[in-house]
Structure 1
């Protein structure tokens, strides 16, 4: 028997069989958790499902073998220590320790799934296929509404339930990018360079269409960040620029640009200006305002940007820590040539204009941002994973 490249003796077969059953359970639960954000469930329901179905089993699994856990932490301590620093840098953020722990256990779920037959890649393929089905259903419904009413609406009702269209758009578009990176691109490359470029343009057109249906400019910003990373990763800067210009022309010619600009800036610049004024004149620019209950512009509960929220809460000190974390992450993952990094860039780009920070309870950003981020991290430390699994097998 062999797991993660490590040969296993007969004496531990029973232990590994039990582990495989646990990992199979985790695979199913993780898939359900990813899909839960398409369902009409409350945030509390999704959170409780995560705590019981993923966090608790991963906590017990991690603590069941401290030696293996130490081996794992040796390779990834730098990331989680810097992430923890963002929590403890402000005394009012102690409650954020729970969110840090939840994210760490989500990382452990990614680790455990890597010893399964399918891995996280298999789980995300299934999620992406369902997401593609959701996209097809939404597209047909959107076109039907257009035909009946004569108006191109912002799609914000799914099976009779109100949804957050931005989150739906990001989940679907991240799934399309995943399918391109891990399933379609390599297949088209074997045929011809032209076929690959045409396929990539079709991907961009689908992202544009999805973003238009949900009127999500955030998805387009995230796509722009992804495009920069993809052009550098694939060393095809000029072709990507040409395809991007063609996409812009398509958006203008089809009228999609008008739909996307219909909602203006959605108060983003005013919110960010208000956050900066309060940070610099009231709270203190270095240490931030913490997790206060301030309402931006008198009515918005958060800064509508993960990065502005981080700066507002933790000040310039927190901002510098995050820059260090991001720089190390990008450097290590680029050296490992991780395709997950490209998907993570889409998620990180989405934080420009959404969410109330990076450290949150379970939210859709865990799927399109944190999950690929953790998988990219794992790509940088294959040796650490081998030692982790070897230590767990030495029972």
Structure 2
């Protein structure tokens, strides 16, 4: 009896140690971009901390869930196939990384201890946002110009990636700590507070003049209105936002941000697909668009161009049932998938890009949502199986 208790105590200590290292790895992975860490350093925390330790934790403590993990990997199969079709851009190791990340997300979902990562990330992001807003207003006061903020602690940072990651962390915190506590019967003051929160997050997108981040915030907010059936509140807020955009300089500021040439680039890529590519399997990625752009700046279009109709079908085979199940079961992280989908509209070259930011604001919510869906789906599966056997 004493030996059994001693063994259980040892296992508990080992689990706590593993969870501590996993906590640190997840925090660094989510916030490494803000901490000025190199991609190599962040990736090492991903490979060793999330990948290897996640797999080790799964085999040591959650072996009884191997059937669930296997079913999640099967669900991910279209994305694994798509990554292999895009191996020229993403590399042959990407399917392994995706599987390891999924296992890590499964381990994170099994222990509420990891929820504090989202709080710690929010506190860091909030401090960063306060500094940036203050600095932005200071520059505006001195120059009279609404600049596109692109510096952090004196160094240039990609404003698109920075704003999308920053907005994502704010919404992740809201999603984990407040979403389930709000319903349509709450007082108007609660929804006023929610509106102020969303306005603050959207303002961060305005400061960085990131239309993609703003689209993501809007998509999350629309999903929130559908989730909570607060259509009237949404309509009123939508009118307020439209009025603010119309009667202030914000609308013009975001709409006419610089010479991004996005639509011109997209037309060029589309014409190349129509005239030079195999419609079913696509063709080699475009590397020198209009003599100056390294990629199409639209992952949806890149998938069609580089992998053809087959790649587009694989993409739809994954995301169509995922979105359907999000609306059906309303899992945690579900609304963050709606934030993730617009964020691939204008920036990265591929879904499987090496930059860690994309893996945080795109793949983290999608994989965590998949893990969150496994419980209601398995319960339904067990009920159906019991009916067949009875």
After TM superposition, the score normalised by the length of structure 1 is 0.86
Q: Please tell me whether residue 221 in structure 1 is matched to residue 211 in structure 2.
A: no
Shift of 1:280: 2.2
CA separation of 1:9 and 1:281: change in aligned 2, threshold 3 A: farther
2:11 to 8, 15, 18: 15
Distance, in Å, in 2 between the alignment partners of 1:84 and 1:133 is: 37
Q: Please tell me whether residue 324 in structure 1 is matched to residue 320 in structure 2.
A: no
Map 1:308-347 to 2 at 5 A.
Answer: 308-347=301-340
Distance, in Å, in 1 between the alignment partners of 2:226 and 2:288 is: 40
Distance, in Å, in 2 between the alignment partners of 1:188 and 1:73 is: 31
Contact 1:177 1:203 in 2 (8 A): no
Q: Which residue of 1 aligns with 2:20?
A: 24
Please list every run of 5 or more consecutive structure 2 residues that lacks an aligned counterpart in the other structure.
Answer: 380-390
Shift of 1:212: 1.3
CA separation of 1:357 and 1:192: change in aligned 2, threshold 3 A: same
1:262 to 256, 265, 282: 256
Shift of 1:321: 1.4
Q: Please tell me whether residue 132 in structure 1 is matched to residue 126 in structure 2.
A: yes
Distance, in Å, in 2 between the alignment partners of 1:93 and 1:83 is: 15
Shift of 1:244: 1.5
Contact 1:188 1:199 in 2 (8 A): no
1:109 to 97, 104, 111: 104
RMSD: 2.8
1:361 to 354, 362, 367: 354
Q: Which residue of 2 aligns with 1:81?
A: 77
TM-superposition CA deviations, 1:156-186 (whole Å, max 9, x none):
1110110011112112212222333333456
Distance, in Å, in 2 between the alignment partners of 1:297 and 1:100 is: 32
Distance, in Å, in 1 between the alignment partners of 2:6 and 2:267 is: 64
Contact 1:102 1:361 in 2 (8 A): no
Q: Please tell me whether residue 58 in structure 1 is matched to residue 54 in structure 2.
A: yes
Question: Could you say what secondary structure the match of 2:289 adopts?
Answer: coil
Distance, in Å, in 2 between the alignment partners of 1:64 and 1:338 is: 27
Shift of 1:36: 0.6
Question: Could you say what secondary structure the match of 1:381 adopts?
Answer: helix
Q: Which residue of 1 aligns with 2:194?
A: 200
Map 1:181-192 to 2 at 5 A.
Answer: 181-184=175-178, 192=186
Distance, in Å, in 2 between the alignment partners of 1:268 and 1:322 is: 22
1:167 to 152, 161, 166: 161
Map 1:234-313 to 2 at 5 A.
Answer: 234-263=228-257, 266-290=260-284, 292=285, 294-313=287-306
CA separation of 1:164 and 1:198: change in aligned 2, threshold 3 A: same
Shift of 1:379: 1.2
Distance, in Å, in 1 between the alignment partners of 2:353 and 2:260 is: 23
Shift of 1:60: 4.4
TM-superposition CA deviations, 1:126-157 (whole Å, max 9, x none):
11221111111100111111122222211111
After TM superposition, the score normalised by the length of structure 2 is 0.87
Contact 1:189 1:195 in 2 (8 A): no
Bigger drift between 52-61 and 371-380 goes to 52-61
Please list every run of 5 or more consecutive structure 1 residues that lacks an aligned counterpart in the other structure.
Answer: 1-7, 387-395
Distance, in Å, in 1 between the alignment partners of 2:59 and 2:354 is: 22
Question: Could you say what secondary structure the match of 2:356 adopts?
Answer: coil
CA separation of 1:230 and 1:95: change in aligned 2, threshold 3 A: closer
Contact 2:18 2:57 in 1 (8 A): no
Structure of higher RCO (CA pairs closer than 8 Å, 6+ residues apart): 1
TM-superposition CA deviations, 1:19-73 (whole Å, max 9, x none):
2210121111210221111132333333234223333333444566895574233
Distance, in Å, in 1 between the alignment partners of 2:164 and 2:268 is: 27
Q: Which residue of 2 aligns with 1:40?
A: 36
Question: Could you say what secondary structure the match of 1:380 adopts?
Answer: helix
Question: Could you say what secondary structure the match of 1:37 adopts?
Answer: coil
Distance, in Å, in 2 between the alignment partners of 1:67 and 1:117 is: 19
Q: Please tell me whether residue 156 in structure 1 is matched to residue 150 in structure 2.
A: yes
Question: Could you say what secondary structure the match of 1:334 adopts?
Answer: helix
